[in-house]
Chain A
Amino acid sequence: QKEVEQNSGPLSVPEGAIASLNCTYSDRGSQSFFWYRQYSGKSPELIMFIYSNGDKEDGRFTAQLNKASQYVSLLIRDSQPSDSATYLCAYTGANSKLTFGKGITLSVRP
């Protein structure tokens, strides 16, 4: 069974801190990795995707991928209360099917 595991939450950080969200996956054939954000009562929306080992930065967000260790992480710098949401890690295999983790809820305290 191919799985995605996310570190247990919920995660609470003070405003301005760095939030670190981690995810491990079991399918070595995984090709693409995604982080979705889901606000309460809303649908998931894509915030980052990464294909290659290393870091990818987009504003306050950095995705990190290590295929050898089978983990992908999301760092949120200068966390804001508006970042409070559930973050879903996902990956695709060869058939474009997206498999999601269960998500981790982030709360940023003002």
Chain B
Amino acid sequence: DVKVTQSSRYLVKRTGEKVFLECVQDMDHENMFWYRQDPGLGLRLIYFSYDVKMKEKGDIPEGYSVSREKKERFSLILESASTNQTSMYLCASSLAGGTGELFFGEGSRLTVL
């Protein structure tokens, strides 16, 4: 069964802290994505990656960075967390050349105080 695992379901951080959100997939997918989901705003793409050590900015990359050192792992980094980054973060993966179906992790709810 396909699986995308996000390391933390719930996090509470303070303003200015550095935050790491980890995502691992076991499907050997080439593509990996980070979205945030906010009420009334839907799913918005932060960053995505088509291959190891490769990254592309999504629609809202400001305040975020990513790392993909291994094919199965895609990390989202908040260098200095701010209250407006309080959100649900969803990681997803897909197969290159496939149907385009995204497989999502369970999400990480981040609260920045």
Q: Quick check: which of A13-21, A56-64, A68-76, A95-103 contacts chain B, the rest being far away?
A: A95-103
A34 within 8 A of B: yes
B41 within 8 A of A: yes
How far does the Cβ of B32 sit from chain A's closest Cβ, in whole Å? 11
> Which parts of A41-57 form the interface with B (CB within 8 Å)?
42-46, 49
Are the C-beta atoms of B100 and A98 separated by less than 8 Å? Answer: yes
Q: Which residue of B lies closest to A31 (CB)?
A: B100
Residues of A within 8 A of B40 (CB): 102
A65 within 8 A of B: no
A106 within 8 A of B: no
How many A-B contacts if CB must be within 8 Å?
Answer: 48
A22 within 8 A of B: no
In the complex with contacts A44-B43, A100-B42, A49-B104 CB distance below 8 A = no
Residues of A within 8 A of B22 (CB): none
B48 within 8 A of A: yes
Docked complex Cα distance between A45 and B50 (Å): 21
Are the C-beta atoms of B33 and A43 separated by less than 8 Å? Answer: no
Q: Which residue of B lies closest to A36 (CB)?
A: B102
Q: Which residue of A lies closest to B96 (CB)?
A: A96
Residues of B within 8 A of A99 (CB): 45
Are the C-beta atoms of A43 and B104 separated by less than 8 Å? Answer: yes
Are the C-beta atoms of B106 and A49 separated by less than 8 Å? Answer: no
> Which parts of A1-53 form the interface with B (CB within 8 Å)?
32, 34, 36, 42-46, 49
Of A42, A98, A102, which contacts B102 at CB under 8 A?
A98
Q: Which residue of A lies closest to B50 (CB)?
A: A96
Are the C-beta atoms of A43 and B106 separated by less than 8 Å? Answer: yes
Residues of B within 8 A of A36 (CB): 102
Docked complex Cα distance between A24 and B90 (Å): 24
Shortest beta-carbon contacts, A-B, top 6: A102-B42, A43-B104, A100-B43, A92-B100, A32-B100, A46-B101
